[in-house]
Amino acid sequence: MEDNNKNLLLATGLSFLVIFVWFILFPPAEQELLPEATETATVQVDGVASVPQADGTFIAAAPAQVVTPEASRENALAQTDRVEIKTGRVSGSISLLGGRIDDLHLTDYNVVQGDDSDTVTLLSPANSAAPYYTVHGWAPAGGLDASAVPGATTVWTVESGRILTETTPLTIMWDNGAGLVFRRTISVDENYMFSITQHVENNTNAAVRMQPYGIIARKGEPETLGMYLLHEGVVRAQDGELQEIKYKNMPDEPFDAAEGGNIDRVDVLESGWIGMTDKYWMTTLIPLPGQPFASVSKYTPANDTYQADMRLPVMEISGGQDAEVTTLLFAGAKEVSTIRAYQEELGIDKFVDSVDWGIFFFITKPIFALLNLIHGWIGNMGWSIIGLTLVIKAILSPLAYKSYVSMAKMKKLQPEMEELKKRTGDDKQAMQKEMMELYKKNKVNPASGCLPILLQIPIFFSLYKVLFVTIEMRHAPFIGWIQDLSMPDPSSFLNLFGLLPYAPPGPESFFAIFSIGVFPILMGVTMWMQQKLNPAPTDKTQAMIFAWMPWVFMFMLGNFASGLVIYWVANNTITFIQQYAIMRSQGVKPDVFGNIISSFRKDKDAKE
> How large is the greatest C-alpha to C-alpha distance in the chain, in angstroms?
106
Q: Are 384 and 374 in contact (CB under 8 A)?
A: yes
For residue 19, the model assigns a pLDDT of: 39
User: What tens digit of pLDDT does each residue of 549-566 get?
Assistant: 888 888 887 888 888 899
Q: Are 276 and 233 in contact (CB under 8 A)?
A: yes
Cα distance between residue 34 and residue 265, in whole Å? 10
* Helix ranges restricted to H, 303-413: 336-346, 361-378, 381-395, 397-412
User: What tens digit of pLDDT does each residue of 201-246 get?
Assistant: 999 999 999 999 999 999 988 887 766 678 899 999 998 899 999 9
Mean pLDDT of 312-326: 95
**Which pairing describes strands 101-110 and 180-188: parallel, antiparallel, or unpaired?**
unpaired
User: What tens digit of pLDDT does each residue of 94-132 get?
Assistant: 999 999 999 999 999 988 877 676 899 999 998 888 999
In one-letter notation, the amino acid at residue 584 is: R
| Sign of the four-CA dihedral 502, 507, 508, 510 | positive
User: What tens digit of pLDDT does each residue of 157-168 get?
Assistant: 999 988 999 999
Would you say the pTM of this structure is higher than 0.85? no
- 3-class secondary structure for 489-536? CCCCHHHHHHCCCCCCCCCCCHHHHHCCCHHHHHHHHHHHHHHCCCCC
Fold category of 31-356 in CATH = Beta-galactosidase; Chain A, domain 5 (2.70.98)
- Domain segments of the chain as ranges: 2-21+364-607, 31-356
CA 176 to chain centre: 44
Cα distance between residue 332 and residue 276, in whole Å? 11
For residue 247, the model assigns a pLDDT of: 93
Q: Which pLDDT band, with edges at 50, 70 and 90, does 507 fall under?
A: low
